[in-house]
Structure 1
Amino acid sequence: MSLMMRLTTALSGRKVGTDRFGNAYYESRRDYLQYGRKRRWVLFAGAPDPTSVPPEWHGWLHHTAAVPMPEQKRYPWMAEHRPNPTGTALAWHPAGHDYSGGRRQVTTGDYEAWTPGS
């Protein structure tokens, strides 16, 4: 988090709460003229990862709910949050992708590349 963000949050924000991932949620102290309501934002615990915002807080951030909903009971079958793997070695690559071997199943009338002058 940048120094400017810390300063802005300290001067114009009011802490509303924290989620189970350690993300802190803030609301502006006054209404914004162009906005017509209080601004809301999140300060992430660690690297900024928007996928770590739980649904209970997502609704509050987007002004769908006036107050944050209570956290849901976690059932054993519910998967815990994992960071977005895009761009990492854990990213999913379909069969035939260069990163997963580059081989795909041959089909009838398989693709024939276009060559100029043909």
Structure 2
Amino acid sequence: MNLLKQIFTWWNRQTIGTMILTFFSGKLKGIDEFGNKYYESKSGRRWVIYKETVEASNIPPNWHNWIHFTNNKLSVASQKKHSWEKRHVSNLTGTNRAYRPKK
């Protein structure tokens, strides 16, 4: 059943096309704290394979910069966190944990 989901849907991790692309031309560049895997091809194309639900807001800010070619450095592990920084949280809209202002 999982294989059928990968063949016919894009929201269940990776499609069969992405699986083939990753196998033949993808070089693993790193894994973030959520288990998402980041790849790059020889031509410079970059992509992510999500550990769970395919949701763009699941990418932490430092990997977002890398995947969008804002920053080419991969020194993610040594990146210093400031005391005022909060832990990354993906978009919670439409869930029970979404922000709802009190009246």
Q: Structure 1 residue 75: deviation in Å?
A: 5.8
Q: Structure 1 residue 90: deviation in Å?
A: 2.4
Q: Does 1:23 align with 2:30?
A: no
Counting helix residues as a fraction of each chain, which structure ranks higher? 2
**Contact 2:62/2:76 (<8 A) preserved:** yes
User: Who wins on radius of gyration, i.e. which is larger?
Assistant: 1
Aligned residues: 89
CA distance in 2: counterparts of 1:79 and 1:45, whole angstroms: 22
**Contact 2:39/2:47 (<8 A) preserved:** yes
Q: Structure 1 residue 43: deviation in Å?
A: 0.8
Task: Select the residue among 59, 80, 84 that pairs with 2:87.
Answer: 80
| Percent of aligned positions that are identical | 37
TM-score (norm 1): 0.61
CA distance in 2: counterparts of 1:83 and 1:62, whole angstroms: 18
Structure 2: runs of 5 or more not aligned: 1-13
The superposition leaves residues 36-62 of structure 1 with CA deviations (integer Å, 9 ceiling, x where unpaired) of xx1111111111122222222222111
Identify the structure with bigger relative contact order (alpha carbons < 8 Å, sequence gap 6+): 2
Query: Cα gap change, 1:7/1:64 in structure 2, threshold over 3 Å: closer, same or farther?
Result: same
CA RMSD of aligned residues (A): 2.3
Structure 1: runs of 5 or more not aligned: 32-37, 97-118
TM-score (norm 2): 0.68
